[in-house]
Structure 1
Amino acid sequence: MKLLRNFGFILRGFEVKFSTNARREVLPDEDVTTRLLKVAVIGVPNVGKSTFINNLMDRKVCPTSSKVHTTRVKSQAIFTEGDSQIVFLDTPGLVSLQEFKKFNLEKSFMKDSKSSLQEADIIGVIHDASNVWTRHKLDLKVIRLLEDHKNKSSFLVFNKVDIIRSKRKLLDLTRIVTENCINGKPIPGTKPLKNKDTKGWPHFQDIFMTSALTGDGLAQVKTYLIKNAKPDHWLFPAEIWSDQTAEEIITKSVKAKLLDFLPQEIPYTLKPELEFFNVNEKGVTTAIILVHCPSQRISKLVAGESDGKLRQITASLQNDLQETFHNYVRLKIVLQAPPDKK
């Protein structure tokens, strides 16, 4: 935002239109001392939606990896500060029917983004500024969802801007992806786009330049969301930071870590299962996870020579979960595979 304003762009402020869906409506004469905002975070796979939420939360609530389709179902991350509660709806990346079949995705995968948008008060679109093939336009699936919910406020987040050194390039991308408009009105001092085939969205109320990996620019986003929370009842107690159970978070984190450490399609064939789970009086978590492998060959690939890769996976996963739970975590991963056929 600071970058854009320095170039004379006016990209600030909007009024959130609230929906009372999934929560009790505030009565006109009711004295409500708390504030609430539900944010749907959408985008194509691997643009950094989960990392964006994790950095805003300062807690690894949403498992992440470098491969696509780490997030398989929608989940909620809850950030509470003062009298304001921000509920982030992390959704699976928008996919085509071909991708749905290729990665054997759950049936809910195609529906979760749509249902999250229906629940949300505001829509945040995460767009990868570093991808030279896609950064000059919004994905058609994103545009269709925005068109279907045109009555809701929305904002654009250019993510991974730390990779781009040219401020002029960021400004050019902004003009293209917003079709030179903010909130449906032309950006002052700009010329009409020459490329009539440009695919963008002219109704964003605000734009942010961030790096979800380093955290740059995220403080402004957090301030922005808190400022636009409206009087309403909280959906969760102040100490709650996720609608997922600890067991669900551990299982999803195992899946994400396997995606990072294993090549090609192998991790998509593995099925983690929580065998043992316990939290002691000091908050220390102990867990044993079974990873079902389709064959002995795959099991050996996961384990690596002398179980070296499995130890690396376990250590990395333990560090991630300690960032999640803000406490010590003891883990053991056990590989299981059917015996080889003779």
Structure 2
Amino acid sequence: MLKVIAKVVERSNFSIQCRLCGSITNVSKVQSLSEIPTDEPVAEIQTRVLRVAIIGMPNAGKSTLINQIMDRKVCATSEKVHTTRTKARAIFTEDDAQIIFVDTPGLVNEKEQKIYNLQKAFIRDGKSVSREADIIGVVHDVANTWTRERLDIKVIKLLEYNKSKPSFLVFNKVDVLKSKRKLLELTRQITENCVNGEPIPGGKPVKPKNSDDKGWPFFQEIFMVSALTGDGLEDIKKYLLNSAKRGKWIFPEKTWTDQISETVILNTVKATLLNFLPQEIPYQLTPLIEYLNVDQNDVITTVVIVQCPSARIAKLIAGAADGRLRQITDTVRIDLQDAFHNYVKIKIVLEPSPNDQK
């Protein structure tokens, strides 16, 4: 009887799958199916699955890495920190394997959360995501001269919290670092010259010179990539596909994100505003979807209202003769077409606050 109930729940969740992005509105019920016992032997399951938590410091390139592997812009990206505000799943399915990436906000402490007025998810999501993952990937920015020689203590703590799980290290933006000798030196420092707890052949473990320069000696694999250009990402994809274990897929085959279409659109608008606007202005804006329609060919037509704190800021965003607004709209349209793999028609309207007296 229990097995029959489980199948009914599974079908009811799949019936509300989004036609555009394949997302499931009630994801938690679908995930909980793996906890319901069935009589089906593991040997008879023909599919494989792997849940991957991608963690790292703000602006390390986590979202860009996932997008390149997925070959579609699932996660919103910008040049500013804290573009990713909450965790989002990207689902990559190839042959019999399903890889579920969880993109998390950059790890911050409570002080940084208050300074940048960030949601509590920035502190909470890292630990919750790593807890549900099968494997943890750390993205480390080697182009940042201030932080590249050590792993941040928040990353170390998260790895220690999940020491029983396999982990891998991704050195990102290696195309910016011209010196191969420096890259080798960073590898020794960040890994303490160890792989999976054992000294790298021909070398000895490297102990940090002081307590601030900490590494992690238990990474199983180390990758050198440029997430922006895609160099080196094929090796990560192969590694993850080979790491997938026998198990039922959590999402239907054509699903590529757990976000609903409206969320994908709004996050893309927010990320584009971050790129185009200076300083704190984009953080004061609130995009809202006024209209959304999907025709029989899955072509999207949408109108997005961007609420501005004042008419002056609305004029600043629009630019001379609305030139900047057209650039923003064109960029959003291209990014959304890259996400949905279909045509998108979008209009962005700037709306000053009704409380503005100027």
- Report the TM-score when normalising by structure 2: 0.87
- CA drift of 1:194 comes to 6.3
Partners of 2:311 and 2:111 in 1: CA distance: 30
Distance of 2:191 and 2:178 partners within structure 1: 21
Q: What are the equivalent positions in structure 2 for 1:158-177 lying under 5 Å apart?
A: 158-177=171-190
> Which whole-Å CA distance do the structure 1 matches of 2:208 and 2:62 have between them?
29
1:329 corresponds, among 327, 337, 344, to: 344
1:52 aligns with 65
Structure 2 residue 138 is the aligned partner of structure 1 residue 125 = yes
SS of the counterpart of 1:162?
coil
C-alpha contact (below 8 Å) 1:22/1:119 kept by paired residues: no
Output the CA distance in 2 between the equivalents of 1:83 and 1:194: 42
What is the CA–CA distance in structure 2 between the aligned matches of 1:189 and 1:23, rounded to whole Å?
A: 47
Alpha-carbon distance in structure 2 between the residues aligned to 1:140 and 1:23: 35
1:296 — aligned with what?
Answer: 311
Give 3-state SS (helix, strand or coil) of 1:240's partner.
Answer: coil
* Kept in 2: contact 1:42–1:91 (CA 8 A): yes
How many corresponding residue pairs? 322
Unaligned runs of 5+ in 1: 1-20
Match of 2:224 among 192, 209, 215: 209
Counterpart of 2:357 in structure 1 is: 341
Q: Is the 8 A contact 2:51 2:100 kept in 1?
A: yes
Deviation at 1:192, TM superposition (A): 4.3
- Structure number with the higher helix fraction is 2
Evaluate the alpha carbon distance shift between residue 23 and residue 46 of structure 1 in structure 2; reply closer, same or farther with a 3 A threshold.
Answer: farther
2:332 to 304, 317, 322: 317
Q: Whole-Å Cα distance in 1 between the matches of residues 172 and 272 of structure 2?
A: 22
Structure 1 residues 111 and 269: CA distance shift in structure 2, 3 A: same
The match for 1:181 among 166, 191, 194 is 194
1:152-181 deviations in Å (ceiling 9; x for gaps): 110000000011122221111100000111
Distance (whole Å) between structure 2 residues aligned to residue 238 and residue 28 of structure 1: 21
Partner of 1:308: 323
Amino acid aligned to 2:333: Q
1:238 to 238, 242, 253: 253
Taking structure 1 as the reference length, what is the TM-score of the superposition?
Answer: 0.91
Q: Secondary structure at the match of 1:163?
A: coil
Counterpart in the other structure of 1:71: 84
Tell me the distance in 2 between the aligned counterparts of 1:180 and 1:46. 26
* 1:6 corresponding residue in structure 2: none
How many Å separate the matches in 2 of 1:23 and 1:215? Answer: 35
State the alpha-carbon separation in 2 of the partners of residues 332 and 127 from structure 1.
37
Q: Which amino acid aligns with 2:322?
A: D
1:246-285 deviations in Å (ceiling 9; x for gaps): 1110001100000000000110110101111111111110
- Identical pairs, percent: 60
